[in-house]
Amino acid sequence: MLERIYGDGPLVAQRQQALAALLDTFCDAYGEEGEIVIARSPARINLMGVHVEHRRGEINPLTHGREVLMAARVREDDEIHLCDTEGDEFPPRVFSIGEELARCATDDWVEYIESPAVSEVVRSQQGDWANYVKSAALRLQHEYPEARIRGMDAAVMGDIPRSAGLSSSSAVVVVSALAAMAFGELEIGRGRLAELCGEGEWYVGTRGGAGDHAAMLFGRRGQISRLRFFPFEFLGYVALPNHATVLICNSLRQADKSGSELSAYNETIAAYRMVLLLIKDILVKDLGFAPEVVADRLHHLGDINLNKDLFPDTIVYQVLHHMPARISREELEQRFPDREEELADIFRTHDPPAQGYRPRAVAMFGLAEIARGSGCAEFLEAGDLDSFGELMYVSHDGDRVVVHEEDGTVRPWDNEQTQVTDEYLDRLRAEVEQGVERAALMWQPGGYRCSCEELDQIVDLCRQVPGVYGAGLTGAGLGGCVLVLVEKAHQQAVMDKLRREYYEARGLTFAAEPCVPVEGAGLLRV
């Protein structure tokens, strides 16, 4: 069974040891009586389609052989009792599903999590690990009030690095949902379950999508999944060529989206919602599109890529030309006086940025990344890793904040001053009309700016090593990991260079490893 999930390598022995430790913890906490289920969810990495799964963009994830495991036994009440193999860091917790839902009686999930009573509880427990288990159990019970989500005694363990962009928190949500379903009356398709897990995780205060959860649930050993949302669509698998591997390089800078980074993370998500308002407004008022056409065809940012007949790259560049480079909350309110409630909802999740929002740079990144997430599949299917790797570099440049030169010089990187100017957009539009391939939207970085100096340095160091096709951050950014697509024959050279020039130079423990794709999340079954 374990070989079917993990392959015939050393992971099988590692998982045997992990399962033994998990069961020891469970028995110490709850005794040895009764039957249990064991749920597992692997880490995930996303090769292309960063920051866009919640905008109807396509993602291209791989699973990785680090994971969260949960052993659970059903209870007769609705209490969930939790313990962890690392009890000092993750102390035991207990909560009642019914008592938590009773804090706000509503059939609207967003209204529930944003209610004063629930918000205060989450705020007072910000960062507590039990909130991720709550998010799964509460979302399932809230969505299916006629079904009974039963309580359980549960022990948890995991080896996914936290705040590293590998979605350790989402893995906890997924295993919690799988365990709860095993004891309940629910049969939910994996696509819908991924959506519910994504919405459930909003409980902790973030406003991300369901891409991480879907990547875990649809993972297949050795295969890249292709996924899209709104509505959820499984687009198939494509194999990573045998001569290449993906290195996961942990910067060891944590991006804690449950703590200090939460406002910055939510600001980037909110910027997309403003961008869509502005795009619709520009299409109608400045480019003469019929309002009913825009309203009918444009519900998500990704709809532009899916309606190329209506919105070719030349039109996109015109839209971006008309979009302000910076805009404040007050200016948005003046521009959309009839959208007061919608804007208030957008602003609620984060602090106002001191220099205003950056709609043009964010829009260009989002639209281009959606095009990359869709268009990269043809390179994978053709085995063209050079082009795929170059797209990884372009994507990372959209997140980049600094450049590390080979001589050690560090200089700022600002796409607003170079690659989203009026002149640059006009030149791209002219080149597209002339048939210049690299003027296409997918080859433009834009400016999302969710990287950091550490991630940028890892990318720049890897770019200096022969045999590296491409590199870029994974996950939400602001810290975490870089993915490096490299020929297997050269992976050791990359790790040696990073060991010397990044980890040892910064006094850090070496933290780079090859991705080991495993089967997606599920219950262990013999």
Instruction: Say whether pLDDT at 179 is over 70.
Output: yes
Predicted pLDDT of residue 203: 95
What pLDDT is recorded for position 127? 85
Question: Which range, of 167-171, 433-437, 489-493, averages the lowest pLDDT?
Answer: 167-171
In this model, does residue 333 exceed pLDDT 60?
yes
Asked if pLDDT for residue 290 goes beyond 90, the answer is yes
Q: Which two tokens stand for residue 415?
A: 């796409």
Task: Tell me the C-alpha distance between 310 and 428, whole Å.
Answer: 18
Q: Per-residue pLDDT averaged across 149-175, rounded?
A: 93
Question: Residue 257 — very low, low, confident or very high, per pLDDT cuts 50/70/90?
Answer: low
Per-residue pLDDT band for 386 (boundaries 50, 70, 90) equals very high
pLDDT digits (tens, 9 = 90+) for 87-142: 999 999 999 999 999 999 999 999 999 999 999 999 999 889 999 999 999 999 99
Q: Are 425 and 370 in contact (CB under 8 A)?
A: no
Neighbours of 466 (CB within 10 A): 10
pTM of the model: 0.91
- pLDDT at residue 399 tops 80: yes
Residue with tokens 């404040």: 328
Mean pLDDT score of the chain, rounded to an integer?
Answer: 94
pLDDT of the residue at 269:
81
Residue 224 exposure: Cα atoms within 13 Å on the Cβ side: 24
313 half-sphere exposure, CB direction, 13 A CA radius: 23
The whole-number pLDDT of residue 132 equals 97
Q: Is the pLDDT of residue 330 over 80?
A: yes
- Looking at the chain, the whole-number percentage of residues with pLDDT higher than 90 is 86
Q: What is the pLDDT of residue 418?
A: 84
Q: What pLDDT sits at residue 186?
A: 87
Q: Would you place residue 329 in the very low, low, confident or very high pLDDT band (cuts 50, 70, 90)?
A: very high
Q: Please determine, for residue 413, whether its predicted confidence score (pLDDT) is greater than 70.
A: yes
Tell me which of 143 and 231 has the higher pLDDT.
Answer: 143
Q: How far apart are CA 247 and CA 244, in angstroms?
A: 10
pLDDT at 289 over 90: yes
**Residue 185 pLDDT greater than 80, yes or no:** no
DSSP string, 77-112: SSEEEEEESSTTTS--EEEEHHHHHTTS--S-HHHH
Which one is predicted more confidently, 477 or 215? Answer: 215
Classify burial at 236, counting beta carbons within 10 Å of its beta carbon; exposed 0-12, middle 13-18, buried 19 or more.
Answer: exposed
Say how many residues make up the chain.
526
Is pLDDT above 70 for 341?
Answer: yes
Q: What mean pLDDT do residues 428-437 have?
A: 97
Amino acid at 242: N
Structure confidence by residue, pLDDT tens digits, 498-525: 999 999 999 999 999 999 999 999 999 8
* 477 has a pLDDT exceeding 80: yes
Rounded Cα distance between 47 and 224, Å, is 9
Q: How many Å apart are CA 516 and CA 526, to the nearest integer?
A: 22
Whether the per-residue pLDDT at 259 is higher than 60: the answer is: no
The two three-digit tokens of residue 67, written as one number = 């994971």
> pLDDT value at position 164?
80
Question: Distance between CA 270 and CA 348 in Å, rounded?
Answer: 9
What pLDDT is stored for residue 258 in this prediction? Answer: 54
Residue 430, pLDDT > 90, answer yes
